Every structure is written in C-alpha cells, then in structure tokens.
Amino acid sequence: MERKPYIWSDLFQGNWELFAVAVRNPETVFVYDIDGILVYSAKPVLKKFSDENGIATDPTKINGWSYLTCLAKAAGWPAERIEHAEDGWYNPQVLLTARKYLYIKPVVLKTIGLSGVERNHVLTSRNPGLRNSTLKLVGREFPEILSGNIMIRDNDADPAEFKGRCLWRLAKTAPWVVFIDDAPDFIKSALNLKIANLVAVNIPQGAVLPDFSDDRLVVIKRYPENLQAMYPLLDAVERATR
C-alpha cells in the first residue's frame, strides 16, 4: 500500500497559538487517555475478534464505540451473541497484551521534560475492575509515569462525569491543562464544562472524527495511518517547543 505524503496542514486542525502557548508553559498539566492514546488496545482486541470469528477487522476503519457490534450484526449473529461482540475491551488478559503506540513514548518523555513528572497524568474511562491490570500495563509501557497519577474509577460513576471531575480538579492547580483523548464524546463533554484553561486535543482512532467545533479544540490525526501512529502529535509538541 502506497503511503500518503506527510502534510502537516492536513494533520493538525485548530488554534495553533493556543496549543503552543499551553504546551510550552512549564507549569502546564498534561492528561493522557490510555486506550487509543497511550496504548494500541484496538490491535489485540480486533485481532482476537477476527481470529475467533473469521471476520476481518481493520483499526483504520473503526467508526465508533460499536465497531465490532456492527460487524457482528452484518454477519447475522443472533442477538445474544451480538451482546458479547465488544467483550475484548473488558478482558484484562487481552488488554495487557497491548503495546504503546509508535511515537507516543517520546511524546510522554517530552512533556515530562517540559513540566515535570508530577504534572503528567493518565485519565481513563476503564471499568473499576480493570484497575490492577491497568496499573500493570501503564507501569510496563510507561514506567516514567507516577502510579499515583493514574486516575481510574473506583465505582460505577459515569465515565464522562468522572473525567470531568478529574479535569476540574487539575485545572485549579495549573495555568493550563492539555487533555489528550481519542474519543470525541469525552472531548466534547470536557469542553462543555467550560474550563477556561483547558486545551482539548482529540486524536481520533480510525475513521472517527468530531462533529463539533470549539476554540479550545485541537484535532491531530495519525500518521502513518495504517499504523495509527502518533508522529503528528510528537511533531506538534516539538514544533511548539522549538
């Protein structure tokens, strides 16, 4: 497959000056999502689905939360089986096999170098039952991140509300919070909180794109797309801090 050329203007959308000002501030707090941002969870989840069911999957074609459910419906599965199409996303053994995205490790090292390890956080919507495996996964792939800075629900609180509470708390401690998430729904919920010092960076997976706009929204695509790699994010951070 021929690789598309790397064109910066096609990969970064939003207020560049706002992004650069926030990123280069040494007191900025950086907040990373796990699945879809730090680790390529879709790769083992989709592979397991394909291997077990003989249905082709492609991470670049993910079009929402129910990608596998849609494939199951198209295959004519009975309702009771369709209910389990997304089970891999909640399987700690499957999730533990996920590895970090290409180019995301240097991004994390860069932001730690910019603002200090204590100002770099992980914020996930994972279920509370995945706490232990999540701490193990992040510790393995990103040992630089403090375990105390990994925020995961300890009850069945709404994921968007949980993320919102955490962002509000962090926003009170810093001039800027840079929140990096792949899910447009969580990005939109965060922006709706009207946190004045929040910069929301959406890096959508696959074919997903936000259908809204905001002065504080930055959208950065992935490149190379077939690897869902994070080079454009790394490029953006490096350009902002030159």
Give tens-digit pLDDT for 198-216.
Answer: 999 999 999 999 999 999 9
> CB–CB of 95/137 below 8 Å?
yes
Q: What is the pTM of this model?
A: 0.96
Centroid of chain to Cα 16: 20
pLDDT averaged over every residue in the chain: 96
- In the predicted structure, residue 1 carries a pLDDT above the cut 60: no
Residue 4: predicted pLDDT: 86
Q: Are strands 12-14 and 217-220 parallel, antiparallel or unpaired?
A: antiparallel
Helix axes 42-53, 67-74, angle to 10 degrees: 10
Spatial distance between the Cα atoms of 98 and 137, rounded to a whole number of angstroms = 8
* Percent over 70 (pLDDT), the chain: 99
What percent of the chain shows pLDDT beyond 90?
96
Q: Whose structure tokens read 């030159």?
A: 242
- Stretch 158-173: mean pLDDT, rounded? 97
Across the beta sheet with 198-202, what order do the strands follow? 12-14, 217-220, 198-202, 177-181, 29-32, 120-123, 150-151
Confidence band, pLDDT 50/70/90 cuts, at residue 179: very high
CATH number for the domain formed by residue range(s) 8-40+98-240:
3.40.50.1000
Residue 156 has a pLDDT of 85
Q: Could you give the CA distance from residue 200 to residue 190 in angstroms, rounded to a whole number?
A: 8
Q: What confidence tens digit (pLDDT) does each residue in 215-242 have?
A: 999 999 999 999 999 999 999 999 999 9
Give the integer Cα–Cα distance in Å for 67 and 87.
12
Q: Burial code of 96-116, b = ≥16 C-beta within 10 A, e = fewer?
A: bebebbbbbbebbebbbebbe
Q: What type of residue is 239?
A: R
Decide the pairing of beta strands 120-123 and 29-32. Answer: parallel
Contacts of 227 (CB under 8 A, 6+ apart): 102
In this structure, are residues 177 and 171 in contact, taking their beta carbons and an 8 Å threshold?
yes
